[in-house]
Chain A
Amino acid sequence: MPTFELDEEIQDMQKMLRDFATEMIRPAYREAEHAGETPSELRESIKELSVHLVDMPEEYGGLGKDIRSAVVLEEELSYGDVGITVDVQDTSIGANAILIFGTDEQKTNLLTPILESGDGIAACFSEKGNPVSPEFIETTWREKEGSYKLMGSKTFVVGAGRAKNYLVLAKKDGSNDWQDLRLFLIAADTPGVVVGDRLGTLGLETCAVADVALMGVKVDSSRVLSAESSDAFKSKLGKVLDYARIVTCARMVGVMSATSDYSAKYSTERIAFDLPISQHQSIAFMVSDNATDVDACRWMTWQAAHEYVRGGESTANRALAHVVERAQKVATDSVQILGGHGFIQDHPVEKWMRDLRALSLIPGNDLFPEHG
């Protein structure tokens, strides 16, 4: 039976996070952007909220819920500021990948300590902005007596130089077979891991984005994740990327909701032609279209999360394509509602417009059905 109800526990957490986001995260958004990182006390206190644990199994130290809870809570954090959220919530995609690919032993040995410490895992999948697929991957592994050696270079790695772990996708030297792909969980201080200069980005400037080169990095076989067949690897990787897409959707909905609320409030306070501009229909229509888009995007995200849990046919791309498109509209119209003030950095709406533009590209943007 369809329902939009939330578990009581999650509802309580949602309320608490909404307050936290507006009182603690929001005030720090600009400072964090200029500094290019989240202030460390704020980082600590966000980690303490344990949002990153919510959908991890209890046996590895998680709270035992699933992605449906994660999307609700990620939205709330992003409502405060998404640059900070992406910067601090730096375990989720990697931890989920370990959960999907790992053996029981690996989950116990690798996942548990990471969840306990809250150390980040930066995902190193993309190369030169190409789709994630063996024919485009040039990072390779060779095996010698149970130990692996990695060579290659990854780009657009969020958390590069900041996360304590990297999760690297590589193919077997000379093979384009999906089955020969592996994921390697590497400690950031392993010799041969070289982080490039930070890449300046349009939005999400709070996050560190850079290239990561792997120059003969040695990895122990206990830290190598694989699948039993090509199809299995493909479908598991698909699941990892779907998870990233759905979480990104939730974060984008959080920003859309923030900018929509901010501009709606502004329109009730700003006077032009002797009326609050909310009384001018072209503004009122933008305000209502924004709110409608936020809702539709949230429900599509929830539906995709539901499908993810159920294991039905993935609707993550459909949700993402819709969210990406509507996010641009909500972001620019919110700036428009503020007029010239929207273009100025005294207000957050210009930042949110940039953040949403950058976020749209994070999970890869093969949003088209004919792809792959």
Chain B
Amino acid sequence: MFDFTLTDKQKMFQEMTREFSRSMVRPIALEADRTGKYPDDLLITLHQAQAGQGRDIRDSGVTANTSENAPDAEEKRKRQTNMLLAILTEELSWGDPCAVLNIPGPGLGGPPVQFMGTPEQRERFFAPFKNMSKPLFGAYALTEPGAGSDSKAIRTSCRKDGDHYIINGTKCFITNGNKALWNVVFATVDPKLGRDGFRVFVIEKGTPGFLEGKVEKKMGLRASETAELVFEDCLVHESCLLGGEKHYETKEGFKGAMKTFDSTRPLVAAMAVGIARAAFEIARDWVKENYTLSRPIERYRTLSDRLSKLDREIHAARMLTWRACWLADEGIPNSKEASMCKVYAAQVAQRATEEAVQIMGPYGVLKNHFVEKLFRDQKVYDIFEGTGQVQRIVISRRIYESIGG
């Protein structure tokens, strides 16, 4: 029967993360926003804390996914890895959304390596992350200046030459792309083939012809690196082609890579819920401290109404997120639900931050107040990992499929 109480273990992890987020992350977030840098020791702590939380998280296929033998379905179900990750992501994002994007490990690059890589490739590319004394990253490079939502339009080319591939093209907006140890890079043998022409490579930092591009200046998420990658006759050994040549004869290759989004979208939603909750709580406390004494009481009531509406929407977003995670943990297809929670939570984060700024009046726009940063951070949640428009296309397709339309 349905039940929304967390297990003791889930609760313990949630509380631990909440405390960590409150005492370690939030206090450095504004400074990190100004400098664009996270302190190394905090990153290492984040990495270790996550590893300390055990196989539960490592095996989820999302973060530091270093295990070679993925757990069987039954075990996975019991562990509720997606659910737990969503719970922890919300807590960490509450402290600072950038903290989530800055967790050392393979990052978004993990799932393709996990799902498409050969055992040797998994060993080779995951091994470095066992070293926890330095913050190391992987990254996922699909987007190009001319191809975002429409990923089949990528132009980065690959051409076989002996036992190497020659890669040419430019990727943009790649999270951690510049500092990453390696990038999972999508290229095409022939743009006319669409997704059938895709080849997915792991390209290591320092590979000849792999040049660092500019690091973007952004409205928000300034403590998260967003980088351009340039490939000029970049020479990549064939052992870096994920899954090997054969993998691409079946057309399963790309599907594998895309499937990762069904488990990452709910986490993006969880981050948005964390942002919304943070903004809500700040505004709530502000009203309590500033309005009960010095302002007309009707005003306090109006503000309470506005706050309770936000509270309601945040809960709705969290329930949608949990639903998508639960389906994933049960092994039930969840692409509609994953899109639903992502599109909804992003909008809630937007409304919550807008309201919080408005409620705090001029203080809301001051740089030394956390809501100012949250307002700048939130907008991208309706953009990356599939824009709101793309999510709606996914949702409506699933609906029409289900009614034969």
Q: Which residues of A contact B (CB under 8 A)?
A: 126, 129-130, 136, 155-156, 199-203, 271-274, 280, 282-283, 324, 328, 332, 335-336, 339-340, 342-346, 350-351, 353-354, 357-358, 360-361, 365, 368, 370-371
Contact = CB atoms under 8 A, between A and B. Distances in A.
A344 B173 CA distance: 9
Most buried by B among A271, A274, A357: A357
Nearest to B354: A328
Contact of A272 (B148, B354, B368): B148
A199 B366 contact: yes
Interface in B358-405: 358, 361-368, 372, 375-376, 379-380, 382-384, 387-389, 392
B226 to A, nearest CB: 8
A339 B216 contact: no
B364 A280 contact: no
A343 B220 contact: yes
Given A136-B294, A336-B387, A354-B219, A156 B143 contact: no
B218 interface: yes
A272 B375 contact: no
B216 A280 contact: no
Contacts of A340: 143, 148, 172-173, 380, 383-384
A339 B362 contact: no
8 contacts: A202-B357, A271-B146, A272-B148, A272-B153, A350-B218, A365-B361, A370-B298, A370-B302
Contacts of B365: 201-203, 357-358, 361
B296 A371 contact: yes
Interface residues of B, number: 44
A117 to B, nearest CB: 29
A199 B372 CA distance: 13
A11 to B, nearest CB: 35
Sorted from nearest, which 3 A-B pairs have the closest CB atoms?
A: A200-B367, A350-B219, A202-B365
A357 B143 CA distance: 30
Contacts of A353: 219, 379
Contacts of A346: 216
A55 B118 CA distance: 75
B239 interface: no
B217 A200 contact: no
B150 interface: yes
B148 to A, nearest CB: 5
Contacts of A332: 350, 379
B217 A201 contact: no
Contact of A345 (B217, B361, B388): B217
A343 B383 contact: yes
Given A199-B367, A353-B219, A357-B375, 15 more contacts: A129-B363, A156-B362, A201-B365, A201-B372, A202-B364, A202-B376, A272-B147, A336-B383, A340-B143, A340-B172, A340-B383, A343-B218, A361-B362, A365-B358, A368-B302
B4 to A, nearest CB: 32
B288 interface: no
A209 to B, nearest CB: 9
B149 interface: yes
Interface in B78-107: none
Contact of B366 (A200, A273, A336, A368): A200
B192 interface: no
Nearest to A338: B383
Contacts of B382: 336
A370 B368 CA distance: 31
Nearest to A280: B389
A343 B350 CA distance: 14
B299 interface: yes
B153 A342 contact: no
A339 B148 contact: yes
A237 to B, nearest CB: 19
A129 B372 contact: no
A345 B357 contact: no
Given A345-B216, A370-B298, A202 B149 contact: no
Contact of B361 (A272, A339, A361, A370): A361
Interface string B340-351: 000000000010
Contact of A339 (B217, B299, B363, B387): B387
B383 A339 contact: yes
B376 A272 contact: no
B299 A344 contact: no
A345 B387 contact: no
Most buried by A among B217, B298, B365: B365
Nearest to B34: A200
A332 B357 CA distance: 15
B361 A129 contact: yes
Nearest to A34: B217
A255 B189 CA distance: 44
Contacts of A336: 382-383, 387-389
Contacts of B358: 324, 360-361, 365
Given A336-B382, A343-B383, A353-B219, A283 B361 contact: no
Interface string B203-233: 0000000000000111110000010000000
Nearest to B353: A357
B299 A368 contact: yes
Nearest to B298: A370
B383 A342 contact: yes
Contacts of A339: 148-149, 383, 387
A346 B214 CA distance: 12
Interface in B140-155: 143, 146-150, 153
Contacts of A203: 365
Contacts of B366: 199-202
A340 B228 CA distance: 13
Nearest to B360: A129
Contact of B379 (A282, A324, A335): A335
Most buried by B among A136, A202, A324, A345: A202
Nearest to A342: B383
A370 B299 contact: yes
Contacts of B354: 328, 357
A346 B384 CA distance: 17
A200 B31 CA distance: 13
